[in-house]
Amino acid sequence: MNFLKVATACPKIKVADTEYNLKQIEKCIDDALEKQCKYILFPELSITAYTCGDLFLQDRLIDESYKALEELCKYLKGKDILIAVGSPLVFKDSIYNCAFIIFDGKILGIVPKSYIPNYSEFYEKRWFAEGFNIKNELVNLPFQSQIPFGVELMFSSGKFKFAFDICEDLWVPIPPSSQAALSGANIISNLSASNELVSKADYRKNLVISQSAKTMSAYLYSSAGVHESSTDVVFSGHMLITENGSLLKENTRFQRENDLLITIIDINKLINERVKNSSFHGNKLNYGIKFNEIEFKYKDLNIRKFDRYIDKHPFVPSNEKLVEQRCKEIFNIQKAGLAKRITHTGLNKAVVGISGGLDSTLALLVIIKTFDMLKLPRKNIITVTMPGFGTTDRTYNNAVSLCKQLNTSFREVNIVDACIQHFKDIGHDAKIHDVTYENVQARERTQILMDIANKEGGLVIGTGDLSELALGWATYNGDHMSMYGVNCSVPKTLVRYLVNYVAQYEVEKTISEVLIDILNTPVSPELLPKDSEGNIAQKTEDIVGPYELHDFFLYYFIRQGASPEKIKYLAGIAFAGDYSEDEIDKWLKKFMFRFFSQQFKRSALPDGPKVGTISLSPRGDWRMPSDASPNSFTYEF
């Protein structure tokens, strides 16, 4: 599945003591190997230390650094791990600050630092030459000859393609890693020695995260530690691992012992992002340059302990601090879309069916917020509850209470008699509770809403959510249809989150109590008769499966283009202890079958705002033929 366990390291060092530094580097490598890492990044000039000053001009220090590199190569012989370590190199009468890339006892290549800072507290040009013009050179060291040397080197093992910045290289307008990414590099590393100033760590982190987003890569960063602190500068050993704009791991700075930061990189995810992004390809055509690709081969890429965090609810922010900010943003998007449709049509009334369920509740809250923003009276919101054969007292009472407490124009239209008449008209036995029995009710409700909208000069606002659209859990030309669908790109797990937010923070207690009871009501279309005790008999998740699983499947299938096998593997990690492997397998197969068989419904969707990263609108993100075969997406274990 192309996962790679990687590490950044900040070893204890002594300035100019290459023997001591080598021992600490080897300890870090041993630790990384024990944890099954396949790649480890060390800080800038970690063999010698960054703060050697004029000692870099001493032959002895250079010679000792070469001896340490030779010993490191011997130590790495037979070990299945790629190493990037910093050390100086003398080449054609100049000294270069370099990254030495080592695998299985051999230096695969040497990458020089392109840009040398010589301002503020930095005086590197006193010792080092800039390397941006070094290309396609070969270097001979006392223990290895003909080593590729240059800025345009990339190191690859299958889909894993490594490239390197060195400290200042990231801080320039066009970092070397930008060119490397356009050439195919997807794991980019920065060997750094960035000293600490007040607020510099936040700026540095934002820079690393931003570069990983722009290059659609994993960007690893390892900086010199506290034992480099000397004279007027202090270092903290800041380490970061990012992936396509997301921070995967960050260490606690100012550690005094060897420090290791480990996580797992998902290369297929990064490749999929690039494949989909036409601007990335355009940039490659305009600015791409050819890198010299040096190949090596890992012996074993199995990850026996998969310890990357997999969020079981990828649509919902896990950071509580983002709750209010994210909710306001989502509602603002929904409001802006609906407000545009209202002002464009000049129809200042909205018609919405309220069932007492989650989706129609969220739609109503969006309409309320939109009308308040446009300074339109809430009485222009026509809320309609349409009890039928399966409507329970609980959902009915919640629907009535909510509509009245929000000061809408409330109407009740019982659909039982109309449906019975329609059963007679089409020759259907009302005792047969099949799909016809259910869909007649859904279409009757939609007809009522549409006709009220015509009569009142308003817009029918759709309530269906993204999860239902993915599964095709809607009656074609029934609840499937509206004049504008405000929830069309909001998955069920996020619907719950938004309604709960309003209940907790934005309404008075009486309305909050209704919203909380709606949140606690089982999800159901209520199209089948109630049970003997008057409770909901038809529970959606018993039929199609848990929505939290389907939202997980949807995210990885659409957002990352993941295979069913990968989705099942990740779901097994995310939902360990919640669902068995057999349950995940069952519902994933159900998801794949329904997703393919129900595309024809998505091909005829009404307009609605894109809220998150996934939309199934046939005019937006998702263009799929209605008659595509699911055969290539079936699997067996």
501 is in an annotated binding site: no
pLDDT at residue 637 is higher than 60: no
476 is in an annotated binding site: yes
Final residue in a domain of this structure, among 248, 280, 295: 295
Final residue in a domain of this structure, among 238, 261, 295: 295
In a domain, 586, yes or no: no
540 is in an annotated binding site: no
In a domain, 541, yes or no: no
358 is in an annotated binding site: yes
Candidate from 183-197, 243-257, 271-285, 547-561 with smallest mean pLDDT:
271-285
Both 459 and 505 in one domain: the answer is yes
CATH number of the domain encompassing residue 36: 3.60.110.10
Both 407 and 520 in one domain: the answer is yes
Q: Which phi and psi (to 5°) does residue 502 adopt?
A: -60, -40
209 is in an annotated binding site: no
Final residue in a domain of this structure, among 295, 311, 345: 295
pLDDT at residue 188 is higher than 60: yes
In a domain, 100, yes or no: yes
In a domain, 69, yes or no: yes
Give the domain range for residue 185: 3-295
356 is in an annotated binding site: yes
CATH number of the domain encompassing residue 366: 3.40.50.620
DSSP structural state of residue 184: T
Report the pLDDT value the prediction gives residue 477, as an integer from 0 to 100: 94
In a domain, 104, yes or no: yes
Report the pLDDT value the prediction gives residue 262, as an integer from 0 to 100: 97
Q: Is the dihedral of CA 32, 37, 43, 44 positive or negative?
A: positive
For the chain, the straight-line distance linking the first and the last C-alpha, in angstroms and rounded, comes to: 15
357 is in an annotated binding site: yes
**362-378 mean pLDDT:** 97
Both 205 and 341 in one domain: the answer is no
Q: What is the pLDDT of residues 211-262, one digit of tens each?
A: 999 999 999 999 999 999 877 889 999 999 999 999 999 999 989 999 999 9
Q: How many domains does the chain have?
A: 2
Angle between helices 358-373 and 509-519 (to 10 degrees): 150
In a domain, 576, yes or no: no
Q: What is the pLDDT of residues 71-97, one digit of tens each?
A: 999 999 999 999 999 999 999 999 999
Both 288 and 325 in one domain: the answer is no
Both 346 and 379 in one domain: the answer is yes
In a domain, 481, yes or no: yes
For residue 278, name the pLDDT band (cuts at 50, 70, 90): confident
Active-site residues, by number, are 44, 113, 167
Both 277 and 416 in one domain: the answer is no
Calculate the average pLDDT of the chain. 94
Q: What is the pLDDT of residues 470-509, one digit of tens each?
A: 999 999 999 999 999 999 999 999 999 999 999 988 999 9
Which pTM was predicted? 0.91
Both 214 and 275 in one domain: the answer is yes
In a domain, 196, yes or no: yes
For residue 636, name the pLDDT band (cuts at 50, 70, 90): low
The helix (H) or strand (E) run that includes residue 292 is strand 292-295
Sheet holding 187-192, edge to edge: 246-250, 239-243, 218-223, 187-192, 160-166, 153-157, 292-295
**193-219 mean pLDDT:** 94
Q: Please report the beta strands in 406-458, taking only residues with DSSP state E, as ranges in sequence order.
A: 409-412
